[in-house]
Amino acid sequence: MTDETAPRATTARRVGIADVAARAGVSVGTVSKALNGSGRLRDETRARVRAVADELGFTPISVARSLLAGRTFTVGIITTDSYGRFGIPVMRGAEDSLAAGEMIAFLCDGRDDPIREQHHLGKLLERRVDGIIVAGRRTDPRRPIGADLPVPVVYAFAPSSDPADCSVVSDERGAAQLAVEHLVKTGRRRIAHITGPQSHASANERAAGLADALAAHDLELVGDPYFGSWTEAWGRFAAAQLLRTHEDVDGVFCGSDVIARGVTDGLREAGLSLPTQVGVVGVDNWGLVAEAARPPLTTVDLGLEEIGRLSAELLLDAINGHAQPGVHVVPGHLVVRES
Amino acid sequence: MTDETAPRATTARRVGIADVAARAGVSVGTVSKALNGSGRLRDETRARVRAVADELGFTPISVARSLLAGRTFTVGIITTDSYGRFGIPVMRGAEDSLAAGEMIAFLCDGRDDPIREQHHLGKLLERRVDGIIVAGRRTDPRRPIGADLPVPVVYAFAPSSDPADCSVVSDERGAAQLAVEHLVKTGRRRIAHITGPQSHASANERAAGLADALAAHDLELVGDPYFGSWTEAWGRFAAAQLLRTHEDVDGVFCGSDVIARGVTDGLREAGLSLPTQVGVVGVDNWGLVAEAARPPLTTVDLGLEEIGRLSAELLLDAINGHAQPGVHVVPGHLVVRES
DNA sequence: AGTACGAATGTGAGCGTTCACATTTTGCCT
DNA sequence: AGGCAAAATGTGAACGCTCACATTCGTACT
């Protein structure tokens, strides 16, 4: 028993591979092999070294390893929406996949400002991240974050405008189709559409998907799509407007849960009973909104976490040399509640 | 002009300090000095080296620097609420302060699972983060994440149960006081309280703060506090309940915006006109909820971003050897809307 | 007993920086 | 012109680890 045992007051401080080697009576190379399971070593030695490492609370400094390996086992996530409604689930999904690959993520908030974004990009490259995920907040294609970067990039939710980049997006048209199928299955035939501003790609695509899906059932949209804003107030207003000209409507597909909540309130306040007289379907599956609506909203979940997961997986693949460029579409699914 | 200029197809790849030195015709040490602005160097040399570095697109590999410096200029943020309502603003604030200190954050989602949390802690320590921020989602004190860790830790929002740790929390009692002041100033005298479950520290503290603030104005709470859940449904239900026994109530302080929204709906549906007959104040300043309520909610903003900012600043201080243990309280502020 | 060969372990270079110190250059004074 | 100090630059070690290769050890075969 050496005097080493006595005064180790501080935990996990400054224990290097050399300390372990000395204590175990072997060389540093042997310790490295023992701990990484590489090379040829007697089982007894391996076990002894491991035991000593545990005892000393040794953790290898990954930074030293990175320097040698030429990679850092980190990725950067740049989000444009300050960790908002869309970025968060994507991030969560991405973190899931990354953890599985022993990677960890740096987080940067771009705040939708190209200058900030470039600044963060520079910082990330300086830290030699192995790859970058760019998470957007709108489905409209965005300018690539940089040309000819030294690391792979995956665009999540908001695809890159360059089709040669790797992007993962939600299935906007499919969402409309799921909604229509549900409405039709529950007996609705006179279906209207209340959605966000026409300047948003998602509003247009959902509207287009809706038209197609209705056509497939030999149905026609009731009135024109009501384009407005992504707010409850607009949903309420549009619902009232809709009833004025089309009082026989029996289903409404809404561009988002927030709008749908406004629509349910508008319809209810106009004296209709839900879901008996009118069925309402939203998009987003935003728990807080969907569950607080009266009645709780049936809605299309766009699979944002899955987008995050797939983005991270594609990024890991690209880092390992198997890039899969192009646009990858993640299907959504219907969450049936009472509306 | 050497032949170097011609075929540099790939950008920013593998340019080391040695390349810059060679091209500039100086030694690596000189390049280091020139780029870091340290040591004594002729201005001309400094400028020339800088120019060459730019031309070659040289960025120092921070990992090499870290190895030498013994620190990584990174911190870890462990959040317990999967980037939810409370964690997000805190993170955003923290990122702000960190960026100012040339630091960057690793993000880990603990999912309120101690096992996951410990696992992430291990990963962070392995990467030799310079410090850790633990962001909670409830104001109840939490068990410290580890004892005798080799790096400083700051607890944000959810304080550590060990008072010797450094925690940054919101001013729960102050929030109640701000609410009362607003209600009284707008002429309310008969004030009730509808809030979340009694098992949450924040519900209790806000209720206690409310009692104190009312007493300071020689007022008494109308009825007992209505403890329930943090939901709209509870708010609606409790509002109806309240009117049944105390129809002369003219102000309600709600434990959260979500509850407040339910309360406004409940009061309105009972035939009262807001804000004429009853004033309502919430807590959280959750834009989506507060703005969608009818009328838009006056509410107390707990200053979550500021909590994040201060947490990061305290952490940076601690990293620099100026730890400031104890509980730091961040004041909130009132956001006046129409309710 | 001597050799040879495979298994186990040791050794040292090197990853890309920074820093302390050694060395060279410059400018100035006598 | 010679000498000297200060300014400018070069040099090499070090950070903590991994890897390729060198060395040692043990065992079985001739």
Percent of chain A exceeding pLDDT 70 equals: 96
Residue A181 bridge partners (DSSP): none
Residues B195 and B294 in one domain: yes
Q: Which of residues 146-165 of B touch strand C (CB under 7 A)?
A: none
Residues A140 and A260 in one domain: no
Question: What are the tens digits of pLDDT across the range A164-184?
Answer: 999 999 999 999 999 999 999
The domain boundary residue, chosen from B37, B60, B83: B60
Residue B60: list chain A partners with CB under 8 A.
Answer: 126
* Location of structure tokens 């015709």: B25
Q: Does residue A336 lie in a domain region?
A: no
Q: In 10 A of CB A183, how many CB atoms?
A: 26
Q: In 10 A of CB B96, how many CB atoms?
A: 16
Residues A234 and A148 in one domain: no
Q: Do A88 and B88 touch (CB under 8 A)?
A: yes
Q: Do A10 and B150 touch (CB under 8 A)?
A: yes
Residues B296 and B313 in one domain: no
Q: Does residue B339 lie in a domain region?
A: no
Query: How far is it, in rounded angstroms, from Cα B10 to Cα B56?
Result: 11
Query: How confident is residue A44, by pLDDT bands cut at 50, 70 and 90?
Result: confident
Judged by C1' against the alpha carbon of A28, the nearest nucleotide is: C10
Query: How confident is residue A251, by pLDDT bands cut at 50, 70 and 90?
Result: very high
Q: Which SS3 state, helix, strand or coil, does residue B253 take? A: strand
Environment class of residue A320 by beta-carbon count within 10 Å: exposed (0-12), middle (13-18) or buried (19+)? exposed
Residues A36 and A135 in one domain: no
Q: Do B104 and A106 touch (CB under 8 A)?
A: yes
Q: Does residue B337 lie in a domain region?
A: no
Query: How far is it, in rounded angstroms, from Cα B196 to Cα B178?
Result: 19
Tell me if chain B has a CB within 8 Å of the CB of A13: yes
Q: Does residue B67 lie in a domain region?
A: no
The domain boundary residue, chosen from A33, A60, A87: A60
Q: Rounding to the nearest 10 degrees, give the CA dihedral for residues B200, B201, B204, B209.
A: -140
User: What number of residues does chain A have?
Assistant: 339
Stated in angstroms, how far is A68 CA from C13 C1'? 12
pLDDT at A296 over 50: yes
Residues A294 and A235 in one domain: yes
Residues A244 and A271 in one domain: yes
**At B38, which CATH number?**
1.10.260.40
Tell me if chain B has a CB within 8 Å of the CB of A60: yes
Q: Does residue B39 lie in a domain region?
A: yes
Q: Backbone phi, then psi, for A70, in 5-degree steps?
A: 80, 10
pLDDT score for B12 = 41
Of the candidates B228, B194, B339, the residue with the CA atom closest to the CA atom of residue B278: B339
Query: How confident is residue A59, by pLDDT bands cut at 50, 70 and 90?
Result: confident
Q: Does residue A337 lie in a domain region?
A: no
pLDDT score for A13 = 52
Stated in angstroms, how far is A73 CA from C17 C1'? 20
Q: Which SS3 state, helix, strand or coil, does residue A45 take? A: helix
Residues A283 and A271 in one domain: yes
Query: How far is it, in rounded angstroms, from Cα B69 to Cα B36?
Result: 14
Percent of chain A exceeding pLDDT 90 equals: 71
Residue A40 identity (one-letter amino acid): R
Q: In 10 A of CB A271, how many CB atoms?
A: 8
Residue A288: list chain B partners with CB under 8 A.
Answer: 258, 289
* Residue A37, CB, strand C, below 7 Å: no
Residue B11: list chain A partners with CB under 8 A.
Answer: 148-150
Q: Do A59 and B10 touch (CB under 8 A)?
A: no
Sign of CA dihedral B259, B260, B261, B263: positive
Of the candidates B66, B150, B53, B133, the residue with the CA atom closest to the CA atom of residue B95: B133
* Residue B28, CB, strand D, below 7 Å: yes
Domain tally for chain B? 3
Residues B176 and B166 in one domain: no
Question: What are the tens digits of pLDDT across the range A141-166?
Answer: 999 999 889 999 999 999 999 999 99
Which residue of A74, A127, A258, A338 to mutate against B (max B Cβ within 10 Å)?
Answer: A127
Question: Average pLDDT in the A128-144 region?
Answer: 94
pLDDT at A12 over 80: no
In chain B, where does DSSP find H-type helix?
A: 17-24, 28-36, 43-56, 62-69, 87-100, 114-126, 172-185, 201-216, 232-245, 257-269, 287-292, 304-319
Token representation of residue A286: 């935003």
Domain that holds residue B317: 72-170+304-331
Q: Does residue A338 lie in a domain region?
A: no
Q: Do B122 and A59 touch (CB under 8 A)?
A: yes
* Residue B42, CB, strand D, below 7 Å: yes
Residue A261: list chain B partners with CB under 8 A.
Answer: 292
Stated in angstroms, how far is B40 CA from C28 C1'? 20
Q: Rounding to the nearest 10 degrees, give the CA dihedral for residues A144, A145, A148, A150.
A: -140
Q: Backbone phi, then psi, for B299, in 5-degree steps?
A: -155, 160
Residues A272 and A165 in one domain: no
Residues A85 and A144 in one domain: yes
CA distances from B129 to A61, B71, B74, B76, B99 (A): 10, 7, 5, 6, 15
* Option in A59, A64, A126 nearest B67 (CB): A64
Is residue B296 reached through a cis peptide bond, with omega within 30 degrees of 0 on the bond before it? no
pLDDT score for B196 = 97
Q: Which SS3 state, helix, strand or coil, does residue B76 take? A: strand
Task: List all nucleotides in chain C with at least one atom under 7 A from a protein Cβ.
Answer: 7-12, 14-21
The domain boundary residue, chosen from B60, B81, B102: B60
Tell me if chain B has a CB within 8 Å of the CB of A100: no
Residues A178 and A291 in one domain: yes
Query: How far is it, in rounded angstroms, from Cα B84 to Cα B116?
Result: 17
Per-residue pLDDT of chain B (339 residues; tens, 9 = 90+): 333 332 333 344 578 898 898 888 888 889 998 888 877 888 888 888 999 999 888 888 999 999 998 899 999 999 987 667 888 889 999 999 998 888 999 999 988 899 999 999 989 998 999 999 999 988 999 999 998 899 999 999 999 999 999 999 999 999 999 999 999 999 999 999 999 999 999 999 999 999 999 999 999 999 999 999 999 999 999 999 999 999 999 999 999 999 999 999 999 999 999 889 999 999 999 988 999 999 999 999 999 999 999 999 999 999 998 999 999 999 999 999 988
**At A162, which CATH number?**
3.40.50.2300
pLDDT at A281 over 90: yes
Q: Does residue B184 lie in a domain region?
A: yes
